[in-house]
Every structure is written in C-alpha cells, then in structure tokens.
Amino acid sequence: MQSKIEEAPHKVLSVIGQNLVREIRPDIPRRRGKNGGKLRSSLGYWARKQEKDLQIGVKQFYALWIIRRDTDPIKPVVMKNISTIQSMIGYALDQIRKGK
C-alpha cells in the first residue's frame, strides 16, 4: 500500500476505500430471492476529488432498510482499521508536503 501512496498521494482515499470495501463485503448480509446477491455486490466507495472525501455505502435504494434490521457492517470495520487509515492519510500528507 505504501508504494501506491508514494506514486500518487492524492489517491490515498481510493486505496483506503478499496481495502475497506474488500474487508466489509463478506459481512454484508445475503438475502434470498430475486435481489439477494445485489446488495453485497452493490457495496462500493466513492473517493470524491472535488469534495475531498471518501464515501462508503451501497447503491441499492432498499439497502438502508435491510441494514437497519441487521447490524451495521461498515462501522466496525472502519473502527478496527482507524489507526491504519490515520497513518496512511498522515503519510500521504507528508508526501504532498514534500512535493510542494
């Protein structure tokens, strides 16, 4: 991961998003029926350049109702990885400062 950050510090949010989604996806509840697998596959991240933030969520409009009935699969993974996320952002900021 460190090499990707060194190559392009501004893409650190994308790297964080990719890793978090990869870890969260197995915890998304599977549902039976017509749309059962779509919830898990619709989990994604959006590293927005203009807003300079990272969003993680599901694209399906009904996802909130399903997740509300179950435990939130996103927050525990983010909390578990918070020190890694902070260090990656700190390292990226250092790389950006070096370039200026």
On whether the CB atoms of residues 18 and 28 are closer than 8 A, the answer is: no
Helix ranges (H only) for 25-81 are: 38-41, 63-69, 75-80
- Whole-number pLDDT of residue 75: 86
**What is residue 37's DSSP assignment?**
T
Which residue from 61, 63, 60, 77 is spatially nearest to 24, judged by alpha carbons? Answer: 77
User: pLDDT, tens digit, for every residue of 32-74?
Assistant: 655 556 677 788 898 887 777 888 887 766 666 655 666 777 8
User: pLDDT, tens digit, for every residue of 7-31?
Assistant: 565 688 889 999 999 998 887 766 6
- CA-CA-CA-CA torsion sign (31, 32, 38, 40): positive
- Distance of alpha carbon 39 from alpha carbon 79, whole angstroms: 22
- Whole-number pLDDT of residue 9: 57
